């Protein structure tokens, strides 16, 4: 299914091989020897394809799919259409992710330093590094092994980059220490000055931004996202946090492990976001707030106070989700009553 | 009027020539032989200038303009100031657009391949193509005739680009098929991985993004906008859709023909936006929604349900526009009542 | 404190030297001869460090700091912990900014034109200019003295840039006149076409954008921000205005002096923002509005009407701040009453 101009399939699998690899249960009557030559969404899948059901919105597609096999939860397996082989997992989407990675492993470039790259002689590059055209690597930069620096990226003086990192085309990085297995998408800006100045009618006075950006291992940062360096303390992105496109992260922000930050979110300076917080698209956080562990903040929320962990929030200003929807309902009752009056 | 350092005027026109070209009516007493040597906004226009009135907010400027002629609707022509020649059109703004294009046709670069571009020998470039400095064109890319690839753009492996396309400076494109007469502004990111992963406390698991981005003919995409490729299905931007700056379009989104998407809008993954939908600035759409044909979604709206076509919506969560403004009015009545209490 | 891989300290100061330089009062019993070898936030400061207190949120850090000296307001000086030398100022944050600049003056690059830059022979470059790798400077560009053009920036035909300007890596500039001491961060897009077209079911018709961008002296523009050129009039950014990351400024917008525009704000076309307006993050302005001098617009506000100067506003649609918080309170009373019912 995947366009071969862009994707290379590594191999194919039998149902049995997939069940073993993904730690899935097979119904008793399932034929483990069926060969599945590709992965595919439910709606387009053919009998030789592996598909998955994760979002209940796609139940209809599930009931009518032509897929040969499907990764599903135990509950959904019970209503599977006849002839569909169910690979049953408590985490079917994770299982699909691993399956798709097995069919289509991520491309790794050959180790190669482009003659069109501009690399200062004091920079240290690890084994297996790929540096593409027009990359600029300034003095005293260190880049770990098997890192991939895409075309046009600019790595400013003194930046340290770990192993197996991929830096997207035309990203810029300064004043930063970056861990292993980090990935920056194209156009990311990391380490520029934070928005720090003393307001003055004679002309705002710049406050030197003397901190860094620390990015821990396994972080992903989406296209055109901007992460300012600290003003004195550092800006820190915790291990395994995923950040989407066009996100703004202000100076001194500290983000914990495993957070999920959806596109166009803005996090003002000096916020502390604890581990496993999820922030929906376009939400914003005022400065100097603490968001507790595991909090879930809805899209477009506007957070102006510290939030306890483990709860869902919505609205601008943000309230617990139930309270927000009660507000919306109350407003609508109000306008109906008015109409009746 | 236009600064000659940046713009070249191709020629000048008489009122009569313009009326013919733009299919405008002239009042009986109008002098068709008047020469108009430039286009200009109402407020600064001089007697030798052509201007236009489209937004009623500028009625005062219309009544006091020194312009020699003005493109206007039939209604406004009736109150035109004395001496102003009215070129009457049902679509005066469109007529102005065509007039301005005639005075100032868009610059076309000479066909030229910069020696500083890095073009893989397997890439195919059409006739008349201009490739500027530091452009990177990877293997198996195909670029149509008269395309203009501005400085520093990176076109990744296998991308297909149609005729008369203009790719802005420092844009990056991967995993994409792009039609004719498409224009990307600087810093656009097209085709990078969507934000797809299975949430896992041990570390989120990446879901390979195996789809593409399909951009149909005559699409415009604003500066620093990001369009992720599909996860399995494709991300599709329909013919003639215009997208402003800093917009985020998630994986699998399908946008119809002739849509208008204003700056900083965010469209979450797997949304279907039907033809001729208009979305105001900073509005956001939750994932997996369908927005009906011709719907108009106000700025900053937060859409969390499917929306019927042909209606106007506002608010977060979004409601039909009338209901939204009734909500706002009800709230303000409520606080007034409180004050009286 | 600052990481020496990224920052160079120019010198150290005694308390007395700082008090003189920053025009601060010293308590009678203060020892002016104490040497302070660095600046540091309150929470990490050591006895040899200068710190500052500006935000009352950090009062606890102030009361327990180990800093040797601290820039504070007269009121806070009265409750300073024993042994802390207070440098008393009515503007302690401004004093800190100046102090930090004195310890860590901004790096200036050597005057140097990279051999990897592509500079048209008609361009004029002032004395002391630094042009980094892969910069593209098109015909008839003029760049003032001591300007610093970072790697990969593209300066299109005819652009004029003043003295002491710094253009961030991979920025693009066209159709613009830029004053002195302006700073663009990486990935800024200035001068591309505004979002101007006549809506037409047969295909929207482009309106040529015949204006420019004028950026006055001492303006800062954050990473990946986009500023479209005017459609006929110019887009103007007034002297000393600071703009954060990922901001969108539409065509014909006129911004006054000393404004502060926080990240992800969107300003629609033809708005007039008077002097000293402050706009919080993610706020949006509809088109053709006038915002009065000194207005303060809260984060995420949605402005749909002209606003008087000198007031604070919040909400979407935006209301005076007090009214907004009364609305929020009224809503919450309403849902409590409902629960009692």
ipTM here: 0.97
DSSP state of A231: S
Q: Is the pLDDT of residue B53 over 90?
A: yes
C-alpha span between A263 and B282 (Å, rounded): 12
In a mutational test of the C interface, the residue from A151, A205, A298 whose CB has the highest number of chain C CBs within 10 Å is A205
Q: Is the pLDDT of residue B341 over 60?
A: no
Nearest CA in chain A to B186: A187
Q: Is the pLDDT of residue B111 over 60?
A: yes
Buried b (16+ CB within 10 A) or exposed e, B28-67: eebeeebebbbbbbbbebeebbbbbbbeeebeebbeebbb
Please report residues of C whose CB lies closer than 8 A to that of A321: none
Q: Please give the average per-residue pLDDT across B148-176, as a whole number.
A: 98
C-alpha span between C291 and C243 (Å, rounded): 16
Q: How far is B196 from chain C (nearest CA, A)?
A: 23
C-alpha span between B115 and B119 (Å, rounded): 10
DSSP state of B191: S
CB atoms within 10 A of CB A64: 10
Q: How far is A217 from chain B (nearest CA, A)?
A: 10
Give me the pLDDT at residue B8, please. 95
Please report residues of C whose CB lies closer than 8 A to that of B187: 170, 172, 187, 189, 224, 226
Tokens of A299: 């899209």
Specify whether the CB–CB gap between C196 and C251 falls below 8 A: yes
Q: β-strand B213-215 against B176-178: which pairing, if any? A: parallel
Specify whether the CB–CB gap between B218 and B258 falls below 8 A: no
Nearest to C230 by CA among C208, C212, C216: C212
**Mean pLDDT of the residues in chain B:** 96
Question: Mind telling me the catalytic residues of A?
Answer: 251
Q: How far is A294 from chain B (nearest CA, A)?
A: 11
Specify whether the CB–CB gap between C326 and C320 falls below 8 A: no
Please report residues of B whose CB lies closer than 8 A to that of C172: 168-170, 186-187
Across the A:C interface, residue pairs with CB atoms under 8 Å apart total 177
pLDDT tens digits in sequence order for chain A, 341 residues long: 799 999 999 999 999 999 999 999 998 888 899 999 999 999 999 999 999 999 888 999 999 999 999 999 999 999 999 889 999 999 999 999 999 999 999 988 999 999 999 999 999 999 999 999 999 999 999 999 999 999 999 999 999 999 999 999 999 999 999 999 999 999 999 999 999 999 998 999 999 999 999 999 999 999 999 999 999 999 999 999 999 999 999 999 999 999 999 999 999 999 999 999 999 999 999 999 999 999 999 999 999 999 999 999 999 999 999 999 999 999 999 888 766 65
C167 — pLDDT class (breaks 50, 70, 90): very high
C140 or A56: which leads in pLDDT? C140
Give me the pLDDT at residue C107, please. 86
φ, ψ at A252 (rounded to 5°): 75, 0
C-alpha span between B317 and B173 (Å, rounded): 34
Nearest to B125 by CA among B150, B157, B160, B153: B160
B288 closest CB neighbour out of A57, A114, A332: A57
* Domains delineated in chain A: 13-103 (3.40.1390.10), 171-341 (2.160.10.10)
- Does B327 contact A334 at a Cβ distance shorter than 8 Å? yes
**C-alpha to C-alpha distances, C52 to A211, C15, C77, nearest whole angstrom:** 16, 13, 11
C-alpha span between C234 and C253 (Å, rounded): 8
Tokens of B329: 């009015």
C-alpha span between B87 and B306 (Å, rounded): 43
C340 — pLDDT class (breaks 50, 70, 90): low
Nearest CA in chain C to A302: C300
What long-range pairs does A53-58 form, CB within 8 A, spacing at least 24?
Answer: A53/A92, A54/A92, A54/A93, A54/A96, A55/B288, A57/B288
- Does C170 contact B168 at a Cβ distance shorter than 8 Å? no
Give me the pLDDT at residue A127, please. 97
Give the global pTM: 0.97
B303 - beta bridge partners? B285
Q: How far is C331 from chain A (nearest CA, A)?
A: 6
Nearest CA in chain B to C192: B185
Give me the pLDDT at residue C337, please. 74
A198 closest CB neighbour out of C94, C246, C264: C94
DSSP state of B228: P
CB atoms within 10 A of CB A334: 20
Please report residues of B whose CB lies closer than 8 A to that of C317: 328
Q: Is C197 helix (H, G, I), strand (E, B) or coil?
A: strand
- DSSP letter string, B300-334: T-EE-S-B-TT-EEETTTTEEHHHHHHHHHHHHHH
- Pick left, alpha or beta for residue B179 (phi over 0 → left; psi -120 to 50 → alpha; otherwise beta): beta
- Does B232 contact A299 at a Cβ distance shorter than 8 Å? no
Specify whether the CB–CB gap between B124 and B105 falls below 8 A: no
The angle formed by the CA atoms of residues A325, A329 and A332, to the nearest 5 degrees, is 140
**C-alpha to C-alpha distances, C189 to A151, A260, B154, nearest whole angstrom:** 19, 28, 17
Q: Find where tokens 């914003």 sit.
A: A284
- All residues at 6 or more sequence positions from A209 whose CB lies less than 8 Å from its CB, including other chains: A193, A194, A196, A228, A229, A230, A231, A251
C207 closest CB neighbour out of B43, B97, B134: B97
Give burial (CB, 10 Å; 0-12/13-18/19+) of C299.
Answer: buried
Please report residues of C whose CB lies closer than 8 A to that of A282: 282
A116 closest CB neighbour out of B118, B158, B174: B118
C-alpha span between C182 and C188 (Å, rounded): 13
- DSSP letter string, C198-246: E--TT--EE------EEE-TT-EE-TT-EEPPPSSS-EEE-TT-EE-TT
C-alpha span between C160 and C176 (Å, rounded): 7
pLDDT digits 0-9 by tens, C276-287: 999 999 999 999
Tokens of A313: 């929030």
DSSP state of C192: P
Helical spans, DSSP H, in chain B: 15-22, 59-64, 74-77, 92-103, 321-340
C223 closest CB neighbour out of A118, A189, A204: A189
**Mean pLDDT of the residues in chain C:** 96
Greatest Cα-to-Cα distance within chain A, rounded to the nearest angstrom: 80
Q: How far is C193 from chain B (nearest CA, A)?
A: 8
Q: Is the pLDDT of residue B338 over 70?
A: no
DSSP state of C57: G
Beta strands in B92-167 (DSSP E): 112-113, 118-119, 124-125, 130-131, 136-137, 142-143, 148-149, 154-155, 160-161, 166-167
Give me the pLDDT at residue A336, please. 82
Tokens of C181: 């001491």
B222 — pLDDT class (breaks 50, 70, 90): very high
B93 - beta bridge partners? none
Please report residues of B whose CB lies closer than 8 A to that of A98: 205
pLDDT digits 0-9 by tens, C229-266: 999 999 999 999 999 999 999 999 999 999 999 999 99
- Does C195 contact B242 at a Cβ distance shorter than 8 Å? yes
Q: Is the pLDDT of residue C153 over 90?
A: yes
Give me the pLDDT at residue A341, please. 58
Give me the pLDDT at residue A191, please. 98
Please report residues of C whose CB lies closer than 8 A to that of A189: 185-187, 223-224, 245
Tokens of C309: 């100067």
């Amino acid at each position: 299914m995947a366009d071969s101009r862009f994707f290379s399939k590594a191999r194919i699998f039998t149902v049995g091989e997939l069940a073993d690899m993904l730690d899935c249960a097979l119904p008793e009557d399932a034929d483990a020897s069926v060969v599945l030559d590709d992965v595919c969404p439910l709606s387009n899948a053919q009998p030789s394809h592996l598909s998955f059901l994760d979002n209940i919105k796609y139940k209809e597609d599930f009931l009518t799919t032509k897929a040969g096999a499907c990764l599903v939860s135990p509950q959904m397996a019970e209503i599977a259409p006849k002839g569909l082989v169910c690979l049953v997992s408590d985490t079917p989407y994770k299982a699909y992710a691993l399956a798709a990675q097995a069919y289509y492993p991520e491309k790794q470039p050959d180790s190669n330093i482009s003659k069109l790259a501009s690399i200062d002689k004091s920079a240290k590059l690890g084994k297996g590094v790929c540096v593409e055209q027009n990359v600029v690597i300034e003095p005293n930069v260190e880049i770990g092994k098997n890192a991939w620096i895409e075309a046009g990226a600019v790595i400013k003086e003194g930046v340290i980059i770990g192993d197996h990192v991929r830096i997207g085309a035309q990203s810029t990085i300064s004043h930063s220490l970056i861990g292993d297995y980090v990935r920056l998408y194209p156009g990311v800006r990391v380490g520029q000055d934070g928005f720090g100045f003393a307001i003055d009618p004679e002309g705002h006075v710049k406050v030197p931004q003397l901190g860094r950006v620390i990015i821990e291992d396994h972080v992903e940062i989406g296209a055109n996202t901007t992460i300012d360096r600290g003003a004195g303390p550092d800006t820190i992105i915790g291990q395994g946090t995923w950040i989407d496109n066009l996100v703004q992260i202000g100076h001194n922000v500290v983000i914990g492990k495993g957070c999920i930050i959806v596109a166009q979110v803005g996090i003002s300076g000096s916020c502390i976001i604890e581990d496993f917080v999820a922030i929906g698209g376009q939400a914003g956080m005022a400065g100097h707030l603490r968001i507790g562990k595991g909090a879930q903040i809805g899209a477009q929320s506007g957070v102006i106070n510290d939030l306890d962990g483990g709860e869902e929030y919505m609205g601008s200003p943000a309230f617990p989700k139930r309270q927000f929807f009660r507000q919306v309902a109350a407003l609508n009752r109000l306008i109906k009553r008015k109409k009746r009056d």
